[in-house]
Amino acid sequence: MTEEINEDIKRLVIARIDAKMPSTIKLSIGDTGSLSKEEMIEHVNKMDTIGKQIVMMHLNFIKAVTSGEFLRELNKV
């Protein structure tokens, strides 16, 4: 992982998960099974392997949106 994940980034990701993800939705990462909103937040707090993957997904999405890459890809569809 090339970027250091500090407490501010963890808080940002947790706030995004809490605000944007309905409690009825589950996330599946690889062969780890389905994760609830609460389980995702728990993994981010622990910063275990799954928590780091969740953080990196959010950071990559934020970067794609701010760079315009996300919109360019949407326009291709």
Q: What is the reported pLDDT for 3?
A: 56
Question: Is residue 1, in this structure, part of any structural domain at all?
Answer: no
Question: Is residue 58, in this structure, part of any structural domain at all?
Answer: yes
Q: What is the DSSP string of 25-62?
A: --EE-TTS-EE-HHHHHHHHHHT-HHHHHHHHHHHHHH
Residue 50 structural domain: 7-76
> What is the pTM for the complete model shown?
0.83
Question: Is residue 16, in this structure, part of any structural domain at all?
Answer: yes
Question: Is residue 2, in this structure, part of any structural domain at all?
Answer: no
DSSP code at position 6: -
In sequence order, what are the beta bridge partners of 34? 28
Distance CA 13, CA 49 (A): 15
Domain count, the chain: 1
Q: What is the reported pLDDT for 1?
A: 44
User: Using one digit for the tens of pLDDT, what is the confidence trace for 11-33?
Assistant: 999 999 999 999 999 989 888 78
Question: Is residue 34, in this structure, part of any structural domain at all?
Answer: yes
Give the closest residue to 56 by CA, choosing from 24, 13, 16, 21. Answer: 13
